[in-house]
């Protein structure tokens, strides 16, 4: 079955390439105009979002407008670029071929814009995608120095409890819990950091005694929603307790911190977050685990002045704050 599936897909892909190449050659030979280059913006956004309504929202237009631009390209090329299924819109073999060229054109346009704008304004806007903890509790309170150095800079901080995709243009710089595995990205370790156990004084006053790791099984826990985890690095409770009794779960580490503060149980929190909260008490101080943050960007953007300003600032910030990030 696997061999048959592979053969069919290979045949379909080859046929798609052939149709696309033949149609393009025919248009050129006949001297006919190609599709409007502006249509490629709609093509790329539908590919990245997978849905007409989402693409329309990101492009600040209507779903019918997006569909019309896609139909225009398909009509000029004489072949479908998308197929629709339960998961949304997916590229056909011809669409996959067009994607490579569309992204190359987009990158050239972005670099041209960068070169021109840098001639008049040395900085501009940069979007930084981060997970909640480091974005809200660590970077934001310390980012003022970046603006004092570069007053012409504008930063959009996308701090969400999920993976922010650079390849889908959700951000220009992204900080991850795991090292991304993509050839199109430049990635390096941003920093290691420690996590530890925290609870409120009120909870500890009424809960069972807590003197050693063995006592943890007698306590309530606060953790993530397992089936909604965006990274396996967030599976931490079992590092401390084999069978934890979880009373409260949330996809947000900030919500977990608040839950610990009101006495719902013990939470595993980054030390750089929880150590600054007077409502929390460190439990079993010798018990810690270490995780890492990774920073990445697209290769073609790494030469951008505004991107390098933010990139270098974050690396230096984390290097200067190792005592906070790796506190024991």
Helix, strand, coil fractions of the chain, as percent rounded to 5: 50, 25, 25
Residue 241 is predicted with a pLDDT of 87
Where does 2-117 sit in CATH, by number? 1.10.10.10
Q: Which two tokens stand for residue 191?
A: 């920093």
Between 113 and 69, residue with greater pLDDT: 69
Output Rg (C-alpha) for the chain, integer angstroms. 25
Two tokens, residue 69: 């631009």
Structure tokens at 19: 């149709």
Angstrom distance (rounded) from CA 203 to CA 219: 10
Residues of the chain with CATH 1.10.10.10: 2-117
Q: What is the pLDDT of residue 4?
A: 27
Percent of the chain with pLDDT over 70: 83
More confident residue, 26 or 255: 255
Q: Bigger pLDDT: 303 or 61?
A: 61
pLDDT in tens, 137-180: 999 999 999 999 888 889 999 988 777 777 777 889 999 888 88
For the cut 90, the answer to whether the pLDDT of residue 263 exceeds it is yes
Residue 238: count other Cβ atoms within 10 Å of its Cβ. Answer: 10
Predicted confidence at residue 19, as pLDDT, reads: 47
Closest CA relative to residue 321, chosen from 212, 166, 191: 191
Instruction: Give the three-state DSSP class for 172.
Output: coil
pLDDT on residue 315? 93
Instruction: State pLDDT tens for residues 172-231.
Output: 999 988 888 777 788 899 999 999 999 999 999 999 999 999 999 999 999 999 878 767
CATH number assigned to the domain with residue range 129-328, chosen from the 4 options 3.40.50.300, 3.40.50.2000, 3.40.50.970, 3.40.190.290: 3.40.190.290
Rounded to whole angstroms, how far apart are CA atoms 179 and 177? 7
Give the β-pairing of 88-91 and 124-130.
unpaired
What is the pTM for the complete model shown?
0.64
CA distance linking residue 207 with residue 192, whole number of Å: 32
pLDDT single digits (tens) 281-301? 999 999 999 999 999 998 766
Joined tokens for residue 117: 């704008």
Residue 14's pLDDT band, with cuts at 50, 70 and 90, is very low
Span(s) in the chain for CATH 3.40.190.290 = 129-328
Q: What is the mean pLDDT of the chain?
A: 83
Tokens matching residue 244: 């934890």
Contact 269, 200 (CB under 8 A): no
Q: Model confidence at 313, in pLDDT bands (50, 70, 90)? A: very high
Query: Quick one: which of 312, 308, 306, 310 has its CA closest to 113?
Result: 306
Q: Which structure tokens are listed for 229?
A: 């985890």
Instruction: Please determine, for residue 255, whether its predicted confidence score (pLDDT) is greater than 90.
Output: yes
**Per-residue tokens: 308:** 């390098």
């Amino acid at each position: 079955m696997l061999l048959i599936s592979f053969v069919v897909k290979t045949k379909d892909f080859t046929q798609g390439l052939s149709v696309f190449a033949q149609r393009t050659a025919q248009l050129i030979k006949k001297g006919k105009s190609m599709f409007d280059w502006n249509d490629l913006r709609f093509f790329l956004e539908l590919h990245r979002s997978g849905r007409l309504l989402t693409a329309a929202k990101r492009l600040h237009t209507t779903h019918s407008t997006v569909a019309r631009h896609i139909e225009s390209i398909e009509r000029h090329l004489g072949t479908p670029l998308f197929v629709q299924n339960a998961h949304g819109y997916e590229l056909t073999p011809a669409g996959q071929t067009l994607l490579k060229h569309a992204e190359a054109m987009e990158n050239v346009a972005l670099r041209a814009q960068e070169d021109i704008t840098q001639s008049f304004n040395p900085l501009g806007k940069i979007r930084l995608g981060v997970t909640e903890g480091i974005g809200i509790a660590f970077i934001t309170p310390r980012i003022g120095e970046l603006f004092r150095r570069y007053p012409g800079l504008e930063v959009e901080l996308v701090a969400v409890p999920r993976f922010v995709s650079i390849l889908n243009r959700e951000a220009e710089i992204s900080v991850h819990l795991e090292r991304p595995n993509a050839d199109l990205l430049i990635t390096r370790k941003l920093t290691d950091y420690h996590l530890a156990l925290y609870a409120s004084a009120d909870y500890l006053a009424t809960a069972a005694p807590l003197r050693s790791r063995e006592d943890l099984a007698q306590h309530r826990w606060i953790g993530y929603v397992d089936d909604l985890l965006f990274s396996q690095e967030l599976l931490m409770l079992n590092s401390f307790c084999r069978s934890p009794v979880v009373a409260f779960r949330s996809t947000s580490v900030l919500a977990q911190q608040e839950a610990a503060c009101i006495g719902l149980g013990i939470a595993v929190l980054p030390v750089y977050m929880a150590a600054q909260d007077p409502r929390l008490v460190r439990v079993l101080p010798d018990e810690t685990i270490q995780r890492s943050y990774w920073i990445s960007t697209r290769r073609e953007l790494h030469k951008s002045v505004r991107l390098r300003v933010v990139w270098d600032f974050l690396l230096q910030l984390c290097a200067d704050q190792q005592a906070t990030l790796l506190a024991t």
